[in-house]
């Protein structure tokens, strides 16, 4: 289960709660299995402690260095971008995660959350920006035409 799903899934958990769980896990398992595991622990700890940019950097290194788990690391890169407010990059990495074997249901949720958050920028930046705030909603429908949020997306787009 990805961090994003833990935070926004059916059983919502705060970053603070996840940070404590992270600390507890590491306290009970002080020795990392290998270099990848050590780097992943560090990236996760940075994420749950709100250091999203630093976490992003480590997850990118993990994705490059350990391509067998690229789907996992790219989904976490998407999470970091989401928390940084860069919804377009979040969707890019969620889509890449999906294309590399990431959990379809989780990516359905994650892409929709980022698309919806991006579309809300319309109200905040309506007159000061020419950004097409519906483009990620359209992207969501392109990826998940029958997804869990397709009806909501179509309604948002007036379809």
pLDDT digits (tens, 9 = 90+) for 74-118: 999 999 999 999 999 999 999 999 999 999 999 999 999 999 999
- In this prediction, residue 127 carries a pLDDT of 47
Say whether pLDDT at 125 is over 70: no
DSSP string, 64-88: HH-GGGHHHHHHHHHHHHHHTT-HH
* Section 132-153 average pLDDT: 90
Q: Residue 74 is encoded by which pair of tokens?
A: 């790219």
Say whether pLDDT at 128 is over 50: no
- In this prediction, residue 1 carries a pLDDT of 37
Say whether pLDDT at 71 is over 80: yes
For residue 95, count CB atoms less than 10 angstroms from its CB and return exposed for 0-12, middle for 13-18, buried for 19 or more: buried
Whether residue 41 contacts residue 32, with contact meaning beta carbons closer than 8 Å, is answered with: yes
| Per-residue pLDDT reduced to its tens digit, 9-57 | 545 677 788 778 877 877 887 787 899 999 999 999 999 999 999 999 9
Say whether pLDDT at 140 is over 50: yes
């Amino acid at each position: 289960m990805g961090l994003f799903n833990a935070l926004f899934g059916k059983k919502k958990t705060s970053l603070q709660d996840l940070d404590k769980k992270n600390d507890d896990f590491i306290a009970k398992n002080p020795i990392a299995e290998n270099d990848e595991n050590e780097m992943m622990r560090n990236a996760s700890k940075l994420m749950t402690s709100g250091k999203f940019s630093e976490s992003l950097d480590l997850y990118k290194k993990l994705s490059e260095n350990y391509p067998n788990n690229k789907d996992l690391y790219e989904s976490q890169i998407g999470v970091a971008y989401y928390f940084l407010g860069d919804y377009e990059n979040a969707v890019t990495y969620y889509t890449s995660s999906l294309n590399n074997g990431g959990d379809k249901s989780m990516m359905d949720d994650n892409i929709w959350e980022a698309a919806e958050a991006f579309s809300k920028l319309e109200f905040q930046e309506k007159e000061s920006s020419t950004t097409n705030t519906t483009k990620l909603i359209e992207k969501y429908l392109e990826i998940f035409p029958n997804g869990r949020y397709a009806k909501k997306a179509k309604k948002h787009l007036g379809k």
